[in-house]
Amino acid sequence: MSSIAVLPAAALQVILGHLCSGPNNSSTDVANARLVCKRWADISCAAVNAVTPKSAAVLVNTVGKFKALTHVDLRYMRSIDEPAAASLSNLRGLHSLSLPGSPCWHKLLLRGAVLQAIAASCSALTRLDISTATDDLAQQLHPLQQLRALSLSGRITDSGLAQLSSLSQLQQLSLSCCDAISDAGLDVLTALPALRALSLQSCLQLGDAALALLGQMTQLTALSLSHSCEDASSAGLLSLSSLKQLRVLNLSAASEGAAPGALARLLAALPQLTALDVSYCEHVNAAVLQAIAGLQDLRVLGLSGASPGSLHSLRCLRALSKLQQLQMRWIGQLKESHVSFLPHLVSLTALDISYCRSLSSSGLQQLQWLPQLQALNMMAVASDDLSCLRALQQLTGLTVSLLPPSCKSWQDIAGLTQLQTLALRRCTITAAGRRAASSSSSSSATTSAKDPQEASSSTGTSHAVAEAGLDARCLAALQVLTALDCSGSSVDAAALATLQLLPSLQHVCLTRCQGVSNAVLGSLIGCSKLAKLDLRLRGSGCSWSCKGLLPLLQQQPGLSAVYVSEVPVGLPQCEEGRVVACSSEQAPLMVARDVGLQV
């Protein structure tokens, strides 16, 4: 058996760099790794989070030697040479494999028959993700008779879909964004008797014939037709009424050609649903909402973009006593009278009312009757009165935005001591009062860090600072906060210096922030557990450079990844692995988890 102690330095560098990448890991893991031996300590100082082509090849080649591996995820790798990729076929116990979505990777797979070798050798493989795969690549899947879950999102056509007929054990299939698939192409799905979950999201060519075929697949328990079947008729939509095993249904922005009554009749025929998304469906009216209210087992509901004419009928949703997640984004005319049903949702733990710009402070007061709420997204809600938060002491995730400097609600946010993720997007986080608070607290930083309540006991100072914006010492009460998102905000060094008082903080996002300077980066040096920092997409007034970034990297050994749009000029080669140039889509960092639907 190969030992990790004798791995090449480049491979160890990659592995140690990934210690902080998981949602439950922290910089403590890296610190512990450095105690193993001097070699590990030296290598971990340059540990990378994003894999370069050269280190990727070394890592994959090495991974092939660890034959007990069962799960391998390579989605973020840009390129790998053929020998390194072929070594994956040595993992005969592999259960789950995710391959990169790069077109050059697919050319490599075809040219070297790498996937064919993997398919022939890895007989235990049950989950495979080859997003943006082509029809030619689908032809190499025949040996994988034991596959249970497969994702071929992006480029598959009817020809490629036909290659899946032999996968009789397949239970989950994603064909999202395969807009070349036609109604006729879906006929092959009837040859997959074990199929239970199917995603046809954004498959734009599907119509009534496809819906009729899906209606015959009575074994389905989860179906997503989001942004699909736009021209389907009422009869086509009602074809789904036969799916009596269906538990999860996503019809967001789908079947726009159907009459409003058809959706109501469909939902009435599917009382067993536990998750439903009808966001941005033009035909959601009073009858549809009444049908939704009859879904007594419903746990998850998406109603984003509901039409103004249906809002007065929202009150019937008070019957959904088991509802746990509710998404109501982008409802511009949502007002206090429309949300009177919220206090009746006694099981609700996650609520998204972002971009409901007409919802006033009196409407927000309905939230105080939801003491069980854990995640709340209020982004772009017009009111700056957040006093409703005082009753939501169990919140672990909160997103707010556009709060003016004069906002009096900073103290209400600071009172949420159970917060783990906080997003203060497009806010003003610069104020003379806050800078003064940071300055006055610098001499007693130790006391403040040990006793946050004592640090905020001076009511006169706190009130003066609150008038100007966020009281810097308020954040000190958020002792379990692990992620802070300041996207699009205006920041300064004095404000961010208070983050040193947050002992659990690991992730900070400054994407599109204004005023990020070298001094701002320097203020983060005291954040002992900082593991990931997002500096992509500079806002106005950003002047940070390698001169400010390098001290942060050198003095924060646990900082495993800094995401940037472009690597700054002058960065030493030994630090390049920790500074990752990537787009919004490529960055794996999720600082603030918005309330969303998993439908």
> CATH number of the domain that 551 lies in?
3.80.10
Q: Are residues 96 and 28 in the same domain?
A: no
Q: Are residues 546 and 441 in the same domain?
A: yes
Of these ranges, 77-81, 212-216, 361-365, the one predicted with the greatest mean pLDDT is: 212-216
**Does a structural domain hold residue 121?**
yes
pLDDT given for residue 524 in this prediction: 93
Residue with tokens 């600072």: 465
CA quadruple 224, 230, 235, 236: dihedral sign: negative
d(CA 356, CA 382): 8
**Does a structural domain hold residue 54?**
no
Q: Are residues 11 and 98 in the same domain?
A: no
Backbone phi and psi for residue 197, each to the nearest 5 degrees, phi listed first: -125, 130
Name the band, by pLDDT with cuts 50, 70 and 90, for residue 412: confident
**Does a structural domain hold residue 451?**
yes
309, pLDDT greater than 90:
no
**Does a structural domain hold residue 363?**
no
The amino acid at 187: D
**Does a structural domain hold residue 504?**
yes
Higher per-residue confidence, 152 vs 433: 152
**Does a structural domain hold residue 469?**
yes
CA 194 centroid distance within chain: 29
Q: Are 348 and 324 in contact (CB under 8 A)?
A: yes
Q: Are residues 460 and 568 in the same domain?
A: yes
The alpha-carbon radius of gyration of the chain (Å, integer) is: 26
d(CA 243, CA 590): 35
d(CA 94, CA 109): 18
Over the stretch 511-542, which tens digit does the pLDDT of each residue have?
999 889 999 999 999 899 999 999 988 888 89
Q: Are residues 534 and 435 in the same domain?
A: yes
Name the band, by pLDDT with cuts 50, 70 and 90, for residue 408: low
Quote the pTM value.
0.80
**Does a structural domain hold residue 480?**
yes
Backbone phi and psi for residue 309, each to the nearest 5 degrees, phi listed first: -65, -20
Q: Are residues 587 and 523 in the same domain?
A: yes
pLDDT given for residue 50 in this prediction: 37
Q: Are residues 538 and 450 in the same domain?
A: yes
Q: Are residues 71 and 35 in the same domain?
A: no
The helix-helix angle for 53-63 and 9-17 (nearest 10°) equals: 100
Q: Are residues 103 and 2 in the same domain?
A: no
Q: Are residues 424 and 509 in the same domain?
A: yes
Domain that holds residue 24: 1-49
| End-of-domain residue from the set 125, 148, 170 | 125
- Rounded average pLDDT over 214-232: 93
Question: What's the distance, Cα to Cα, between the start and end of the chain in Å?
Answer: 42
Which whole-number Å values give the CA distances from 591 to 44, 231, 485, 527, in the listed order?
Answer: 24, 38, 6, 16
316-334 burial: b if 16+ Cβ within 10 Å, else e: bbbbbeebbbbbbbbbeeb
Q: Are residues 513 and 596 in the same domain?
A: yes
Give the count of domains, the chain.
3
- Rounded average pLDDT over 68-85: 71
Kind and range of the H or E run holding 325:
strand 325-327
**Does a structural domain hold residue 195?**
no
Mean pLDDT over the full length of the chain? 80
